């Protein structure tokens, strides 16, 4: 086990004299050689967009972490501070990995200040460092996220100045350590945000074009199909290439966190860069050198294909994706089966829905005439347009793109099937279960 953070001698005890009770940690086992105490296991909250918890919890489970709770936009597990390194490195569908330091009651901003000053910030932060403090408040005790952040900041820097004689700089940028406060009712939870900028920002999207699919949503959509290099992955209408790139990263079993330069955890006191380098090296060594099947990405716009190529190059997967400029219906479909995945416009942000109806009809014709033996998928935020495809969907998987409720429609196209299926009998089948894991690789090592 890598020893990256060394928990200080006061970290496992609750504060006295009415101070903030730190999250009740439990021992992770015998102390690592050279450390004074055993690492503390605490709750770890992993945030994600709505619709992604089933996929995120499956990633967490495959990595060997327990599942404590799941909500509309989070999954909770538990582990040591060192465990957050592996989560940040490997998670594809999560956004932030939050390591809980304390829970305490607070009926006012002043009470929040008093509680936060009781926490041993000098054990986590260097006095000359930089820290960002964020907050999400749903309480009558305080109605302003920014004011709650300010009170936390005042308490933290006052504690550091008292104990160290100096205090960290603070600001809104993610360029150092990060703290996050959840204030629900009269109960506060305070976390070390070990991620910083969202994990969805992999770092490869140099040219995003208009209305791109978020990386974490693209990864979850691919996981929902069950694709894991167990067939070809065909992506007409590829846009800036996010789906094809995420498919390549998944199929090659490359940790998405390898693409990022900064995580907030790297700025915490006690961080060992050599251990982090060893963890990254192990992830790189475990990646596959090549895919067993083809990834084909096309778009009718030359500028889109050029952007997708550059983004794929930034992600280190350009040679694993076959790019070409053509109408989606002219996309080459090799024999052997697999997944055909389209993310067409759906009239919510980039076009009139009525004008898009012919495109959706052509998608149905494309599936029927050229994609026999494949499973077709269409990601759309407009179910009425989805009906114009003219095929009966076998699954309708719910997702959200920002605030837009969407569906990933699945169409099984059997060889020799040319007759359009009845749309009149089409019924919505929302699949709210976790993704199939029979063919998928583990989310981490």
Alpha carbons 73 and 95: distance in angstroms, whole number = 10
The reply to whether CATH 3.40.50.150 applies to domain 215-253+288-412 is: yes
pLDDT in the model for residue 209: 81
Q: Which residues of the chain have pLDDT under 50?
A: 1-4, 6-19, 29-38, 417-445
The CATH number, out of the four listed (3.30.2130.30, 3.40.50.10860, 3.30.390.50, 3.40.50.150), of the domain defined by the range 26-193: 3.30.2130.30
Angle between helices 242-251 and 215-225 (to 10 degrees): 60
pLDDT in the model for residue 354: 87
Those residues whose C-beta lies under 8 Å from the C-beta of residue 220, and which sit 6 or more positions away, are 51, 52, 55, 56, 92, 93, 399, 435
- Reduce the secondary structure of 253-267 to three states and give it as a string: CCCHHHHCCCCHHHH
Alpha carbons 61 and 326: distance in angstroms, whole number = 40
412 is written with which tokens?
């099984």
Which residue ranges does the chain devote to CATH 3.40.50.150?
215-253+288-412
pLDDT in the model for residue 384: 93
Model pTM score = 0.86
pLDDT in the model for residue 289: 97
Alpha carbons 400 and 395: distance in angstroms, whole number = 16
Within 278-334, strands assigned E span 295-299, 322-325
Alpha carbons 370 and 373: distance in angstroms, whole number = 9
Give residue-wise pLDDT tens across range 62-83.
Answer: 999 999 999 999 999 999 999 9
Which residue ranges does the chain devote to CATH 3.30.2130.30?
26-193
Give residue-wise pLDDT tens across range 130-140.
Answer: 999 999 999 99
- Greatest alpha-carbon pair distance for the chain in Å reads 78
pLDDT in the model for residue 98: 98
pLDDT in the model for residue 431: 44
85 is written with which tokens?
């390194």
């Amino acid at each position: 086990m890598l020893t990256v953070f060394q928990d200080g001698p006061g970290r496992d005890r609750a504060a006295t004299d009415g101070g903030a009770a730190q999250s009740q940690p439990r021992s992770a086992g015998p102390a690592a050689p050279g450390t004074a105490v055993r690492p503390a296991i605490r709750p770890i909250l992993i945030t994600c967009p709505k619709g992604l918890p089933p996929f995120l919890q499956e990633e967490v489970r495959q990595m060997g972490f327990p599942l404590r709770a799941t909500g509309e936009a989070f999954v909770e597990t538990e582990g040591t501070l060192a465990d957050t390194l592996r989560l940040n490195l490997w998670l594809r569908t999560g956004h932030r990995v939050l390591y809980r330091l304390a829970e305490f009651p607070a009926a006012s901003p002043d009470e929040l200040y008093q509680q936060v000053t009781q926490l041993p910030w000098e054990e986590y932060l260097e006095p000359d460092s930089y820290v960002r403090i964020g907050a999400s408040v749903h309480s009558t005790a305080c109605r302003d996220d920014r004011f709650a952040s300010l009170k936390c900041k005042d308490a933290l820097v006052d504690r550091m100045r008292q104990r160290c004689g100096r205090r960290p700089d603070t600001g809104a940028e993610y360029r150092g350590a990060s703290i996050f406060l959840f204030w629900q009712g009269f109960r506060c939870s305070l976390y070390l945000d070990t991620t910083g900028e969202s994990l969805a920002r992999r770092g490869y999207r140099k040219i995003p074009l208009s209305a791109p699919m978020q990386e974490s949503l693209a990864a979850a959509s691919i996981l929902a199909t069950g694709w894991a290099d167990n067939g070809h992955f065909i992506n007409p209408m590829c846009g800036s290439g996010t789906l094809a790139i995420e498919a390549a990263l998944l199929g090659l079993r490359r940790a998405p966190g390898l693409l990022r330069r900064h995580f907030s955890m790297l700025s915490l006191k006690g961080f060992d860069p050599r251990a982090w380098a060893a963890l990254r090296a192990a992830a790189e060594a475990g990646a596959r050198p090549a895919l067993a099947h083809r990834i084909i990405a096309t778009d009718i716009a030359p500028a889109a294909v050029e952007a997708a190529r550059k983004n794929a190059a930034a992600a280190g997967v350009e040679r694993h994706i076959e790019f070409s400029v053509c109408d989606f219906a002219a996309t080459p479909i090799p024999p052997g089966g697999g997944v055909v995945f389209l993310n067409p416009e759906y009239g919510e942000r980039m076009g009139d829905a009525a004008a898009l109806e012919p495109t959706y009809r052509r998608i149905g014709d494309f599936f029927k005439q050229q994609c026999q033996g494949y499973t077709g998928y269409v990601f759309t935020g407009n179910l009425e347009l989805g009906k114009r495809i003219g095929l009966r969907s076998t699954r309708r998987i719910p997702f959200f793109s920002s605030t837009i409720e969407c569906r990933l429609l699945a169409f099984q196209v059997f060889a020799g099937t040319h007759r359009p299926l009845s749309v009149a009998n089409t019924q919505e089948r929302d699949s709210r279960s976790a993704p199939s894991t029979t063919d998928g690789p583990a989310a981490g090592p």
